[in-house]
């Protein structure tokens, strides 16, 4: 395996570890906030206050990070790092000043915005929401800078720090909850602003080690800035259109039995956590490499690493799909079943999770292919395919919901993921020429065979191995852990014996991951 492949594999390992760490800390943040504020109107007001700054404008700013990477790599290849550094500074200046202007406008009009959007709130709740919105609007200033620095670091092969920025952010939010008696919910709102500021501060030393230098440049008449802004809108529309799927699911579920919407929501959160860790990690690592290969006209390398990423996702997502499908009930019991979340809730949620899991490979490959188009500076194709896929999803939902209830909505989402993959692959082949997917098909068949063996091992374990303790939660957790362990070991043994190159390399380098991770963070 080449040096590039080695770097990609190691980087992906590190990002997976960092992502898991960050998500655990993020989950702990939610637990702490829940302990202090529960489901009170104050927390409702804070969540509502972040609707515009935290959802709408954050999505736009995240789109800048996506389009920044291919433009930056193009400049490095064509004009060198000094010119690329000027581009970074110009992008920072333009985005931060634009965000500041939006924040000021938001501060002025927050009461009107709240009055229009949240008509169902009473006067007290409206006043609190508008006050909190005035505070939270200002975090978009730092959020914009954060996304630019993330794009810069990823382009320069530092993939871990952009993931770890969540650690100081979550720490500040958690600490603010303990100030409830002094500042109430306002402390948390201010903490969000300080948290996003900490993300920027956290990344600056690492950016400087990658040759970033401050250069104040007020001249925003730049061809590369114009190109970046031209690419942003389709990315934003494409991501927004895909979010429409969730809205359609919830709308149709509102006509089903009580608890259907909640079940879809709970299952979707688990869904995103399970496949998102690996999919997002591989996408984050491969994306800068693809844009660099495209900018330097290395088409064969471009195709080679696209196939490498797809094969890696096949090897990871296929066994996860089989595992989640067979263990969906046990997973939901351990994660959610307590208090008001009863057996019926578990039944509804696990049913949705089972059918969501069928689309794991589709979701992951779709994300990689979308990033592939972004890397060649084509943001229109994913947007068009996304719009078509949503239309297909609506049709499937209307049909399947009649037969499978809320499970049909989950199945429709899974099916449309593979429709998206087909459409994107077809468009990509038209764009860059033939892609040899024969090896990927072989890897897929081997992964399915190994996963079937894993499935048999898990079923036998469930039948013959059951450990009891005085505590129900502990009993369930231990048995689920045993079943997952048996599944991982059995799949690993079978897939390794089938001589899949990517798996062999994965095993050979897994021992280096933790030491590499510590070294990178210590730098």
Q: Is 114 a member of any domain?
A: yes
Q: What would the pLDDT profile of 449-472 be if each residue is shown by its tens digit?
A: 999 999 999 999 999 999 999 999
Residues 197-213, mean pLDDT to the nearest whole number: 92
Whose CA is closest to 121, among 34, 37, 39, 41? 41
Top mean pLDDT of 112-116, 207-211, 484-488 is at 484-488
Asked whether the beta carbons of 311 and 443 are under 8 A apart, the reply is yes
Q: What would the pLDDT profile of 289-337 be if each residue is shown by its tens digit?
A: 888 888 777 888 888 888 888 988 899 999 999 999 999 999 989 888 8
- On the question of pLDDT at 389 being above 90, the answer is no
Q: Is 112 a member of any domain?
A: yes
pLDDT at 517: 47
Tokens read off for 211: 């040759």
What's the mean per-residue pLDDT of the chain? 84
Domain that holds residue 23: 1-221
pLDDT at 507: 61
| Residues contacting residue 325 through CB under 8 Å, at least 6 positions apart | 354, 357, 358
Asked whether the beta carbons of 416 and 392 are under 8 A apart, the reply is yes
Q: What would the pLDDT profile of 263-278 be if each residue is shown by its tens digit?
A: 887 788 788 777 777 7
pLDDT at 243: 64
Q: What would the pLDDT profile of 153-177 be if each residue is shown by its tens digit?
A: 988 888 888 888 989 999 999 999 8
pLDDT at 3: 63
pLDDT at 412: 92
Under the banding of pLDDT at 50, 70 and 90, the label for residue 518 is: low
Residues 209-220, mean pLDDT to the nearest whole number: 82
pLDDT at 1: 52
| Residues contacting residue 185 through CB under 8 Å, at least 6 positions apart | 37, 42, 43, 45, 46, 128, 132
Q: What would the pLDDT profile of 78-99 be if each residue is shown by its tens digit?
A: 888 899 999 999 999 988 998 8
- On the question of pLDDT at 511 being above 60, the answer is no
Pick the more confident residue, 437 or 251.
Answer: 437
Q: Is 231 a member of any domain?
A: no
Residues 509-515, mean pLDDT to the nearest whole number: 52
Compute and round to an integer the Cα radius of gyration of the chain.
23
Domain count, the chain: 1
Asked whether the beta carbons of 480 and 488 are under 8 A apart, the reply is no
**Could you give the dihedral angle defined by the CA atoms of residues 190, 193, 194 and 198, in that order, rounded to the nearest 10 degrees?**
160
Tell me what percent of the residues of the chain surpass a pLDDT of 70.
90
Q: Is 359 a member of any domain?
A: no
Tell me what percent of the residues of the chain surpass a pLDDT of 90.
32
- On the question of pLDDT at 135 being above 60, the answer is yes
Q: Is 113 a member of any domain?
A: yes
pLDDT at 358: 94
Q: Is 326 a member of any domain?
A: no
Q: Is 346 a member of any domain?
A: no
Q: How far apart are the first and last CA of the chain?
A: 27
Residues 250-256, mean pLDDT to the nearest whole number: 75
- On the question of pLDDT at 347 being above 80, the answer is yes
- On the question of pLDDT at 488 being above 80, the answer is yes
The pTM of this model reads 0.79
Whose CA is closest to 482, among 464, 470, 500, 497? 464
CA angle centred on 20, ends 291 and 310, rounded to 5°: 40
- On the question of pLDDT at 279 being above 70, the answer is yes
Q: Is 238 a member of any domain?
A: no
- On the question of pLDDT at 520 being above 60, the answer is no
Q: What would the pLDDT profile of 45-61 be if each residue is shown by its tens digit?
A: 777 787 777 766 777 77
pLDDT at 247: 66
Under the banding of pLDDT at 50, 70 and 90, the label for residue 236 is: confident
- On the question of pLDDT at 39 being above 60, the answer is no
Instruction: Identify the H or E element spanning 88.
Output: helix 81-117
């Amino acid at each position: 395996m080449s040096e590039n492949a080695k770097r990609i594999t190691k980087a992906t390992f590190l990002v997976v570890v960092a992502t898991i760490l960050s998500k655990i800390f993020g989950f702990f943040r939610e637990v702490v906030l829940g302990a202090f504020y529960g489901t009170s109107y104050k927390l409702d007001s804070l969540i509502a206050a972040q609707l515009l700054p935290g959802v709408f404008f954050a999505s736009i700013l995240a789109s800048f990070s996506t389009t920044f990477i291919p433009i930056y790599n193009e400049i490095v290849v064509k004009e060198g790092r000094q010119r690329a550094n000027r581009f970074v500074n110009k992008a920072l200046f333009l985005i931060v000043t634009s965000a500041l202007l939006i924040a000021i406008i938001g501060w002025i009009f927050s009461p009107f915005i709240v009055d229009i959007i949240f008509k169902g709130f009473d006067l007290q709740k409206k006043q609190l929401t508008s006050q909190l919105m005035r505070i939270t609007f200002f975090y978009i200033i730092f959020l914009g800078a954060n996304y630019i620095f993330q794009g810069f670091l990823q382009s320069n092969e530092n993939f871990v720090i952009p993931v770890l920025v969540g650690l100081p952010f979550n720490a500040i939010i958690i600490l603010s909850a303990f100030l409830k008696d002094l500042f109430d919910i306002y402390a948390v709102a201010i903490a969000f602003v300080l948290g996003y500021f900490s993300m920027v501060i956290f990344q600056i030393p690492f950016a400087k080690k990658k040759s970033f230098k401050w250069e104040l440049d007020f001249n925003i008449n730049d061809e590369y800035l114009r190109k970046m802004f031209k690419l942003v809108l389709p990315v934003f529309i494409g991501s927004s259109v895909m979010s429409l799927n969730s809205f359609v699911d919830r709308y149709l579920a509102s006509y089903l039995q009580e608890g259907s919407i909640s079940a879809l929501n709970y299952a979707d959160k688990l869904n995103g956590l399970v496949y998102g860790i690996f999919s997002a990690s591989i996408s984050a690592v491969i994306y800068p490499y693809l844009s660099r290969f495209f900018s330097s006209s290395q088409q064969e390398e471009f195709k080679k690493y696209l196939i490498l990423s797809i094969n890696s996702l096949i090897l990871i997502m296929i066994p996860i799909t089989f595992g989640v499908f067979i263990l969906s009930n046990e997973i939901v019991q351990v994660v959610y079943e307590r208090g008001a979340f009863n057996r019926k809730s578990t039944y509804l949620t696990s049913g949705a999770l089972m059918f969501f899991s069928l689309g794991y490979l589709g979701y992951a490959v779709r994300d990689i292919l979308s990033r592939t188009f972004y890397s060649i500076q084509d943001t229109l194709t994913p947007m068009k395919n996304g719009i078509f896929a949503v239309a297909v999803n609506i049709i499937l939902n209307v049909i399947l919901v009649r037969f499978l209830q809320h499970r049909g909505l989950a199945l429709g989402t899974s099916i449309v993921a593979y429709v998206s993959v087909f459409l994107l692959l077809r468009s990509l082949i038209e764009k860059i020429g033939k892609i040899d997917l024969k090896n990927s098909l072989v890897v897929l068949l081997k992964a399915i065979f190994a996963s079937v063996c894993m499935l048999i091992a898990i079923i036998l374990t469930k039948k013959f191995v059951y450990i009891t303790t005085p505590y129900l939660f502990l009993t369930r957790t231990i048995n689920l852990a045993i079943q997952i362990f048996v599944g991982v070991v059995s799949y690993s043994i079978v897939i390794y014996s089938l001589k899949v190159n990517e798996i062999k390399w994965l095993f050979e380098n897994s021992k280096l991951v933790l030491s590499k991770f510590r070294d990178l963070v210590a730098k």
